[in-house]
């Protein structure tokens, strides 16, 4: 399956471990259960020195808050709103704890994970509406933790990267303050033919067929495919958006989405750091200890700390 993709031995081992959880049952219930088992296998024990809580608030999705156990800074916590991947159909509060818990400790920050509604039961714009609602509660300081609104970032991987960009576009449309930065890991931002969708059509862990199925579940109505809040590369105007860090994976049909978004931001006068993800596959954020992935984490943390200064 991966023989014509020149992956390192350690990356191949990660792919094999991930694929060992795949199920042939196409039902969404079975697919979600398989994804949760895989995610749990890659989630280390919760580190000491971390306070974790959940909030179930009226008209809001459940959120999980991660922060150091120390007292908050006088100005409030620097904060990262984390929007998980999973093709808009999979994942939840626990699926990305491998990174949300680490972010909180490494950055000395509040990290907010959002259990947004999933497709196909809840197609576009349900997930985006949920993320916007949580963002607005964060900005207003009504999620139970003091937040430094001058140091508030949005971050997401894959479908979560899509939602992070859409959130920024929606805030701009509404005339509301932008995050201090957007951090995107192999984001899904467009549709149609791109070189990477062809050259990586059968890439490990995300094929072109997988991608098309996810998009169809999230965007069941023809008009949604023309909406920049559903597919942000449809926007013709990226002015006024926050500075960005965009990382892609070399062997991923979504590779060109991130690169094109970064180029569009730069053309609009927005600072964007691009990480080309040499040797990476989609989903590699979980592959800690793999040299290529550790390079991504080093660049990611450097960008996070720069945005939170």
Active centre residues (catalytic): 158, 252, 282
Q: Please check whether residue 155 is in contact with residue 168, taking contact to mean a CB–CB distance below 8 angstroms.
A: no
Q: In what order do the strands lie in the sheet with 63-68?
A: 50-55, 63-68, 110-114, 77-83, 147-157, 182-185, 244-247, 272-275
Selection from 156, 152, 160 nearest residue 178 by Cα: 152
Tokens of 135: 């963002």
Selection from 100, 107, 132 nearest residue 117 by Cα: 132
Q: Please provide residue 150's backbone torsions phi and psi, each rounded to the nearest 5 degrees.
A: -80, -10
Selection from 40, 80, 99, 88 nearest residue 284 by Cα: 99
Distance from C-alpha of 34 to C-alpha of 39, rounded to nearest angstrom: 9
Q: Strand, coil or helix: what is 296?
A: helix
- Beta-bridge partners for 184: 156, 246
């Amino acid at each position: 399956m991966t023989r014509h993709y020149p992956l390192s031995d350690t990356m191949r081992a990660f792919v094999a471990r991930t694929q060992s959880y795949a199920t042939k049952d196409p039902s969404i219930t079975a697919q979600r259960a398989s994804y949760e088992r895989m995610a749990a296998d890659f989630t280390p024990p919760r580190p000491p020195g971390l306070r974790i809580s959940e909030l179930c608030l009226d008209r809001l999705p459940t959120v999980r808050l991660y922060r150091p156990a120390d007292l908050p800074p006088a100005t409030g916590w620097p904060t990262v709103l984390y929007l998980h991947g999973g093709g808009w159909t999979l994942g939840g509060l626990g699926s990305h704890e491998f990174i949300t818990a680490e972010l909180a400790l490494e950055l000395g920050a509040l990290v907010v994970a959002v259990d947004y509604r999933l497709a196909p039961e809840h197609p576009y714009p349900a997930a985006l509406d949920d993320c916007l609602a949580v963002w607005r509660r964060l900005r207003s300081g009504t999620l139970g933790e003091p937040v430094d609104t001058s140091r508030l970032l949005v971050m997401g991987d894959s479908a979560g990267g899509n939602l992070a960009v859409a959130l920024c576009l929606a805030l701009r449309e509404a005339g509301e303050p932008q995050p201090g930065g957007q951090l995107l890991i192999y984001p899904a931002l467009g549709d149609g033919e791109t070189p990477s969708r062809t050259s990586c059509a059968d890439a490990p862990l995300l094929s072109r067929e997988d991608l098309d199925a996810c998009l169809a579940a999230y965007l069941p109505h023809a008009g949604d495919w023309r909406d920049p809040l559903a597919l942000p590369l449809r926007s013709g105007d990226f002015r006024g958006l926050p500075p960005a860090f965009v990382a892609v994976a070399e062997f991923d049909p979504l590779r060109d989405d991130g690169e094109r978004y970064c180029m569009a931001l730069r053309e609009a006068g927005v600072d964007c750091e691009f990480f080309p993800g040499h040797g990476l596959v989609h989903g590699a954020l979980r592959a800690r200890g793999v040299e290529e992935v550790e390079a991504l984490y080093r660049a990611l943390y450097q960008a996070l700390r720069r945005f939170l200064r």
